[in-house]
Structure 1
Amino acid sequence: MKLKAFIASISAAVLTACGSVDVEHYSREKPELELSTFFNGTIDAWGIFQKRSGAVARRFHVTIEASWKSPDEGVLDERFIYSDGETQRRVWHLKRQSDGTWQGTADDVVGVAVGKVSGNALRWTYVLRLPVDGKEYLVDFDDWMWQLDEHSMMNRSVMSKFGVDLGEVTLFFKKRIPGGQ
């Protein structure tokens, strides 16, 4: 029985890898995403976590304070408030590499997140330390963002472990307009 489960999980991983879209698919999409422009100042995001079944398990709001030393090096300070009152903070340190890709680090990210921008899209891949019921799990994230306009972005992340999908995180980002609504 364990052999069948192992083969099924390997098959799922192979099928997921074969079905993956390359970020270059979005190369002609507008507006062109420039991380230091979109993620600058205060950004609000609203999101949900859905279990594999599709059931919404958590809702949350994130306030992001974004600042940049240069167009190639910035910090995203994320403060989460979940619908059950739990709070969380993640501080991303982002740096553009000479080949145009991005690297990101945060305290709960294992190693380095790797990101690539093309057109209006960004794809991050990384491993996150995820606390659940007093335990910590290492979970793979396939994290996609699409800029919709100057002030809006959608984000969809698939969480998996050993190639098996655990659930999805969906967020909508809205930049605060100084002096505006």
Structure 2
Amino acid sequence: MNPMPIPFRHKPQTPARRRALRILTALAGSGLLAACAGPEVRDYAAERPLLDLRQYFNGTVDAWGVFTDRSGKVVKRFTVVMDCRWEGDRGVLDEAFTYADGSTQRRIWRLVRHADGRYTGSADDVVGSAEGEASGNAFNWRYTLALPVDGRVWEVQFDDWMYLMDERVMLNKAVMSKWGIRLGEVTLSFLKRSAS
């Protein structure tokens, strides 16, 4: 035996109820817009110390990182040793990755600093060109990486942020997505070796 449905009772729209509904709709809409809007690199223009990629990524830089999936679970741990050098406005960042399971990987970034302060970059597993901009202590870097996954290659987008903490320490957080769906995050800490 099915229960009887409860009839919907229509409440008349008073001016006060209409006004409250408009306010709630506006607040919900502004919350959704705020959730979609992300930070811009110019938001960090006043932050110090000032990040100059040519200065920081010059010499040897060590890094420790994790990859977390959408749930926040750590699925990969790794270390990186970076051999970095610049000639004028052209730089090479030679990254040697070692993963917790013993596997290794190498990526060589070739960077160009442009007159307007933007950076472009390329690497063998980067699709097209990476685009970046620095402001204050921050650097935002966006690119598409060709990642091998279960015998196939996926083109995955990275929204990569770096924040200089002091002359030797930098933190890095990158959100990885495909088709606009967030897949996970890569978090790294960099330590620039002291000049001997």
Structure with greater strand percent = 1
Q: Which letter maps to 1:61?
A: T
Secondary structure in 2 aligned to 1:33?
coil
Q: Which has the larger radius of gyration?
A: 2
How many Å separate the matches in 1 of 2:102 and 2:152? 19
Q: Which letter maps to 1:56?
A: V
After superposition, give the CA deviation of every residue in 1:143-173 in whole Å (9 maximum; x if it has no partner). 0000000000000000000110000000000
Deviation at 1:17, TM superposition (A): 8.2
Deviation at 1:133, TM superposition (A): 2.2
How many Å separate the matches in 1 of 2:35 and 2:143? 15
Is 1:178–2:195 an aligned residue pair?
yes
The one of 52, 55, 77 equivalent to 1:37 is 55
Q: Which letter maps to 1:100?
A: G
Q: In the TM superposition, what are the counterparts of 1:66-145 in structure 2 within 5 Å?
A: 66-70=84-88, 72-145=89-162
How many Å separate the matches in 2 of 1:154 and 1:36? 17
Give the alignment's Cα RMSD to 1 decimal: 1.4
TM-score with structure 2 setting the length: 0.81
The one of 33, 36, 52 equivalent to 1:18 is 36
TM-score with structure 1 setting the length: 0.88
Deviation at 1:114, TM superposition (A): 0.2
**What is the match of residue 162 of structure 1?**
179
Deviation at 1:100, TM superposition (A): 1.4
Gaps of 5+ in 2: 1-31
The one of 57, 63, 82 equivalent to 2:81 is 63
How many Å separate the matches in 2 of 1:17 and 1:67? 39
Instruction: Name the structure, 1 or 2, with higher relative contact order (CA <8 Å, separation 6+).
Output: 1
Percent identity over the alignment is 55
**What is the match of residue 148 of structure 1?**
165
Is 1:50–2:50 an aligned residue pair?
no
Moved over 4 A (4+): 14-17
Worse overlay, 132-141 or 161-170: 132-141
